[in-house]
């Protein structure tokens, strides 16, 4: 993050420190978004609590959530989220190509008709929220998403419209590790 100071982890409140240590252990490095939000602890707590609610109390699979994140971040041209969540797409979808497709143009992604409808809705809500209408949800109902899944599609899309803007605003930069993570073709690791 080039636009705001990144505090030393040791200077952060204990709950932040614990979260950062857990994330660092899981990933093998500290994802920069955690260091960046350390700038303002009350916002750190709110941002990650929302994130956790989206992925932990989710009607969607984690693979679906990460596909949404990268399609949204692709049209918002967010470098941090393209790369960091691109790695998560590769991991959760077990597909080394899907993230590059979603970053470039979600219309080229090799996905099911059901997931294509999900991405179309997310991108419309991202690009032209003013044109979004109740009828747009019918497309999701038609391909079989249930009510809570539909709520979650909207919620994940909305949250990453927040997240992309924070990353662009503060100029957050993804860790180098994310660029190469999980790029090995299936089963060849």
Q: How far apart are CA 91 and CA 86, in angstroms?
A: 9
Could you tell me which stretch among 7-15, 20-28, 61-69, 171-179 binds its own copies (CB under 8 A)? 171-179
| Residue 31 or 74 having the CB closest to its own copies | 74
- The residues near 96 (Cβ < 8 Å, ≥ 6 apart) are 90, 182, 183, 184, 185, 186
Residues 50-69 that bind its own copies (CB under 8 A): 50, 52-54, 56-57
Q: Does 170 bind its own copies (CB under 8 A)?
A: yes
Classify residue 63 by burial, with Cβ atoms within 10 Å: 0-12, 13-18, 19+. middle
In the shown chain, the binding pattern of residues 76 to 115 toward its own copies, with x for contact by CB under 8 A and - for none, equals xxxx--xx------------xx--xx-xxx-xx-------
Interface residues toward its own copies, by CB under 8 A: 2-5, 39-40, 42-43, 45-47, 49-50, 52-54, 56-57, 74, 76-79, 82-83, 96-97, 100-101, 103-105, 107-108, 125-126, 129-134, 137, 147-148, 151, 154-155, 157-159, 161-166, 168-171, 173, 176, 179-180, 183-185
């Amino acid at each position: 993050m080039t636009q705001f100071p990144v505090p030393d982890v040791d200077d952060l409140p204990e709950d932040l420190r614990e979260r950062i240590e857990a994330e660092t252990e899981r990933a093998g490095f500290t994802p920069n978004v955690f260091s960046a939000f350390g700038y303002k602890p009350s916002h750190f707590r709110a941002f990650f609590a929302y994130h956790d609610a989206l992925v932990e109390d989710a009607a969607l699979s984690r693979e679906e959530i990460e596909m949404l994140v990268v399609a949204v971040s692709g049209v918002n041209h967010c470098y941090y989220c393209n790369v960091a969540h691109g790695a998560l797409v590769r991991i959760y979808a077990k597909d080394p190509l899907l993230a590059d497709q979603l970053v470039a143009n979600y219309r080229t992604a090799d996905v099911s008709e059901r997931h294509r409808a999900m991405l179309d809705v997310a991108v419309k809500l991202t690009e032209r929220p003013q044109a979004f209408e109740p009828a747009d949800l019918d497309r999701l109902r038609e391909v079989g998403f249930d009510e809570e899944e539909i709520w979650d599609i909207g919620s994940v899309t909305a949250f990453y419209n927040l997240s992309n803007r924070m990353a662009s605003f503060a100029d957050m930069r993804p860790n180098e590790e994310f660029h190469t993570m999980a790029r090995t073709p299936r089963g060849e690791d």
